Amino acid sequence: MTSSSHTKRIDPTDTKGIEAMAHVRAMLTFIGEDPDREGLVDTPMRVVHAMREHFSGYGMDPADELSRTFSEIDGYDQMVLLTGIDIHSHCEHHMVPFVGKAHVAYIPNGKVVGLSKLAKVVEIFSKRLQVQEKLTAQIANAIQTHLQPLGAAVVVQARHYCMCYRGVRQPHAWTTTSKLTGIFLEDPATRSEFLRLISLGQAPAAGM
């Protein structure tokens, strides 16, 4: 059985997909490869499928994820924090990956949202071409806009492959960005609590 038997074919009526496959073939030729050799025959199709998965965030709206809220929270008005959300995104400058973690918090103003929805908002914005600074702001702004909490806070920590194995070649460098709104920006005590809880919320090392 050939490898192509396991790969979903591109629908012949999918004109955008067919066009994208032609561009992938051109890129293979550009780098000095033969797109017709056995190992690469199905590569354009696989790349198109992968690209649709990598950038599926363009077809999703964070408002849909944050629209269902719950108000029966017995007056809860303290911080809600989700730490260690995986980020897999792509730099819009070189279209290479950057990966890391996001830490997201908000202080409810009479309503909360399901925790999985916070992770979904991170995923939606991650699965687009990004710069880390914009990604961080988009997550925080979406939470602030749609939940209207007393404040929102987002910290993103990531390694960028565009500087790990090319350019300055710094494979151990991490980039940290933050976006604070409302009480997180205005109240130093709330901000300090957020940063302390991020540290406490880190996953323990294996074996601990």
CA distance 102 to 50: 23
Q: What is the pLDDT of residue 185?
A: 96
Partner residues linked to 111 by β-bridges: none
Please indicate whether residue 160 is annotated as part of the active site.
yes
CATH number of 62-200: 3.30.1130.10
Please indicate whether residue 90 is annotated as part of the active site.
no
DSSP annotation string for 46-64:
HHHHHHHHHTGGGG--HHH
Candidates 33, 94, 157, 193; catalytic one: 94
CA distance 78 to 179: 19
Domain 10-54 matching CATH 1.10.286.10: the answer reads yes
**Where do the structural domains in the chain lie, given as residue ranges?**
10-54, 62-200
Candidates 49, 148, 162, 164; catalytic one: 162
pLDDT by residue (tens digit) across 64-121?
A: 999 999 999 999 999 999 999 999 999 999 999 999 999 999 999 999 999 999 999 9
Instruction: Supply 107's token pair.
Output: 């202080």
